[in-house]
Structure 1
Amino acid sequence: MINAIVLIDAEADRIQEAAQAVADLAGVDKVYSCAGDVDLIAVVRVRDHEQIAEVVTGGINKVDGVSRTVTHIAFRSYSSSDVDAGFSIGE
């Protein structure tokens, strides 16, 4: 499974509607509204890289209210237990 994190800028008066429309797209696992440099963050989970292009350029970028996206493809996933185990010295 390939994971991508999509940072989304949205029109201020369309954030909630854009978030729901993005969340309804196939391949989108979660959408977060957030404070900071972007309005929304979408987590995309698909089987291959071509599907990322379909979801982002063919789906998210076409949602009314979405003005810009930046996509980051994840290579590895870490959890707090993974990190703790990596720093454990025979405990």
Structure 2
Amino acid sequence: MQNAVILINVEKGRIRGVAERLAELDGISEVYSTCGRYDLIAIARTRDFESLAALVTERLTSVEGIRDTETLNAMQVHSRHDLDAMFSVGL
């Protein structure tokens, strides 16, 4: 499994439409609108690196209104949710 955080800047007035379109793409699990340097943050979860590469270089670029992106490929996932589930089994 490949996980990535994709930081996105969008053309003025197009945040909602771009966010909705991104949320429909296979491989995007969540999209957040934000305040600050980036307009949107998309969480990508794909089966392998090749699928992530196709998502970022092909499907994302087909979404109109995206100005630029920065993709942060996750090396390891640390999640309280996963730890809670692991320690709650049988205890």
Instruction: Give the TM-score normalised by the residue count of structure 1.
Output: 0.84
Paired AA for residue 76 in structure 1 = Q
Aligned residues: CA RMSD: 1.6
Equivalent in the alignment of 1:46? 46
Question: Offset of 1:82 from its aligned partner?
Answer: 8.1
Counterpart of 1:11, as a letter, is E
Q: Are the counterparts in 2 of residues 61 and 67 from structure 1 also a CA contact under 8 Å?
A: no
Q: Would the aligned equivalents of 1:9 and 1:38 in 2 still touch at CA under 8 Å? A: yes
Instruction: Give TM-score scaled by structure 2 length.
Output: 0.84
The amino acid across from 2:22 in the alignment is V
Opposite residue 22 of structure 1, the aligned amino acid is L
Identity level (%): 41
SS in 2 for 1:13: coil
Q: 1:18 to 1:76 in 2, by over 3 A?
A: same
Q: Which runs of 5+ in 2 are unaligned?
A: 84-91
What 5-or-longer segments of structure 1 have no aligned partner? 84-91
Superposition misfits of 4+ residues, deviation over 2 angstroms:
79-83
**Does residue 56 of the first structure (1) align with residue 56 of the second (2)?**
yes
> Residue 32 of structure 2 aligns with which residue?
32
The alpha-carbon distance between structure 1 residues 56 and 81, as it changes in their structure 2 partners (threshold 3 A), is closer
1:17-38: CA deviations, max 9, x gaps? 0000011001101000001110
Distance apart, 1:12 and its partner CA: 1.7
> Contact conserved, 1:61 with 1:68, CA < 8 A, in 2?
no
CA distance in 1, matches of 2:64, 2:71: 18
